[in-house]
């Protein structure tokens, strides 16, 4: 039996997988300190048989079995946390780790491949608590020697956040994540409206409130800028948008409009994630299936 985990900035999902098929799925809120995180893992797997292997996709990048935060403002204890060692001690079986955006990118690619529609070069972008990504080039998933490949949220864009905040939790300035993540949308909306506004509320307000619409359109323009930059480097065929913000009502259309207004050569196809919020789980399960077949 395979245990598949998807660890994000706000939630942890877990699936019990047999024969490459999800038999049961559970989800709990993420904990922000090690003891609480260990308890979440125990709660998610309570009553299940011991697995033969564990596959994990997680926010952050993986290097030497440890997970490292790119944006330290999301999960502070994550920076250098020995996640593989912790899970091996808990489950007494092999553990494989991958970044969640990379796993989701592979999940979206595999779903398209199954329909005979897989492009050779695909970029997945998840707009959620943060902004992440996964890159497939020449039909191969790119992880990079340090697990950093396709961290699109920390690519610089020329636009600035509407509240003037430039410093990112990664230590750099001008990152896409400071404009287009759910956290960034809420922060900009709070500054503009003078009260807490969640990203979900912001999208609801946008139907009647021009200031809310301006924040979202500005974020879409920043995403389009990032897509254009990546496209000119690797020559993309398709860009897939996922995440709670990316899949929010009208966001894909706003990004598409922003791309249309750019002088972009051979613009890639823009599509919505077909695996929804479970693209990461789909990806780690597909990667495990491929390992088992070798």
DSSP 152: G
Entry pTM: 0.92
Domain that holds residue 81: 2-101+278-293
Task: Note whether 179 and 269 are same-domain residues.
Answer: yes
Under 8 Å between Cβ of 62 and 10: no
Mean pLDDT value across residues 56-60: 93
CATH of the domain at 243: 3.30.420.40
Task: Note whether 188 and 267 are same-domain residues.
Answer: yes
Per-residue pLDDT tens digits for 199-248 = 999 999 999 999 999 999 999 999 999 999 999 999 999 999 999 999 99
- If one counts the domains in the chain, the total is 2
Q: Is residue 107 part of a domain?
A: no
Q: What pLDDT score was predicted for residue 73?
A: 79
Mean pLDDT value across residues 3-10: 93
Q: What pLDDT score was predicted for residue 163?
A: 96
Q: What pLDDT score was predicted for residue 147?
A: 87
Mean pLDDT value across residues 270-276: 92
Helix (H, G, I), strand (E, B) or coil at 96: strand
pLDDT-based confidence at residue 132 (cuts at 50, 70, 90) = very high
Q: Is residue 112 part of a domain?
A: no
Mean pLDDT of the chain, nearest integer: 94
Q: Is residue 90 part of a domain?
A: yes
Task: Note whether 204 and 165 are same-domain residues.
Answer: yes
Whether residue 49 is predicted with pLDDT greater than 90 in this model: the reply is: yes
Q: Which of 26-30, 67-71, 115-119 has the lowest mean pLDDT?
A: 67-71
pLDDT-based confidence at residue 18 (cuts at 50, 70, 90) = very high
CA angle 63, 70, 16 (to 5 degrees): 65
Tokens of 106: 């592979």
Q: What pLDDT score was predicted for residue 293?
A: 83
Tokens of 68: 């490292």
Task: Note whether 151 and 285 are same-domain residues.
Answer: no
CB atoms within 10 A of CB 225: 21
DSSP H stretches of helix in 115-180:
177-180
Q: What pLDDT score was predicted for residue 54?
A: 98
Task: Note whether 90 and 128 are same-domain residues.
Answer: no
- Direct distance between the N- and C-terminal alpha carbons of the chain, in angstroms, rounded to an integer: 17
Share of the chain above pLDDT 90, in %: 84
Whether residue 294 is predicted with pLDDT greater than 80 in this model: the reply is: no
Task: Note whether 33 and 132 are same-domain residues.
Answer: no
Q: Is residue 208 part of a domain?
A: yes
Give the separation between CA 70 and CA 62, rounded to whole angstroms: 11
Task: Note whether 157 and 257 are same-domain residues.
Answer: yes
Q: What pLDDT score was predicted for residue 278?
A: 87
pLDDT-based confidence at residue 253 (cuts at 50, 70, 90) = very high
Q: What pLDDT score was predicted for residue 223?
A: 98
Q: Is residue 113 part of a domain?
A: no
DSSP 58: E
Per-residue pLDDT tens digits for 171-208 = 999 999 999 999 999 999 999 999 999 999 999 999 99
Q: What pLDDT score was predicted for residue 72?
A: 80
Spatial CA neighbour of 102 closest among 126, 121, 81, 80: 126
Mean pLDDT value across residues 110-128: 95
Task: Note whether 145 and 73 are same-domain residues.
Answer: no
Tokens of 207: 């139907």
pLDDT-based confidence at residue 74 (cuts at 50, 70, 90) = confident
Task: Note whether 268 and 283 are same-domain residues.
Answer: no
């Amino acid at each position: 039996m395979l245990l598949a985990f998807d660890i994000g900035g706000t939630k942890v999902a877990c699936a019990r997988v047999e024969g490459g098929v999800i038999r049961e799925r559970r989800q709990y809120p993420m904990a922000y300190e090690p003891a609480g995180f260990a308890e979440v893992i125990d709660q998610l797997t309570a009553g299940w048989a011991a697995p033969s292997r564990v596959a994990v996709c997680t926010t952050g990048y993986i290097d030497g079995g440890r997970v490292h935060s790119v944006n330290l403002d999301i999960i502070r204890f994550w920076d250098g946390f020995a996640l593989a060692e912790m899970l091996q001690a808990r489950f007494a079986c092999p553990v494989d780790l991958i970044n969640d955006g990379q796993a989701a990118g592979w999940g979206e690619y595999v779903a398209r491949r199954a329909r005979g529609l897989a492009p050779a070069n695909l970029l997945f972008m998840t707009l959620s608590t943060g902004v992440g990504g996964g890159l497939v080039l020449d039909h191969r998933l790119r992880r990079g020697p340090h697990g950093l490949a396709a961290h699109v949220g920390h690519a610089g864009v020329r636009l600035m956040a509407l509240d003037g905040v430039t410093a990112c939790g990664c230590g750099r300035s001008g990152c896409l994540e400071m404009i287009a993540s759910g956290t960034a949308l809420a922060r900009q909306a709070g500054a503009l409206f003078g009260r807490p506004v969640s990203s979900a509320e912001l999208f609801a307000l946008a139907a009647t409130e021009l200031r809310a619409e301006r924040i979202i359109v500005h974020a879409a323009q920043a995403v389009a800028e990032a897509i254009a930059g990546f496209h000119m480097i690797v020559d993309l065929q398709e860009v897939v948008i996922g995440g709670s913000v990316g899949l929010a009502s009208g966001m894909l259309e706003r990004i598409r409009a922003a791309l249309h207004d750019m002088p972009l050569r051979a613009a890639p196809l823009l599509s919505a994630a077909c695996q929804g919020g479970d693209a990461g789980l789909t990806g780690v399960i597909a990667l495990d299936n491929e390992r088992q077949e070798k």
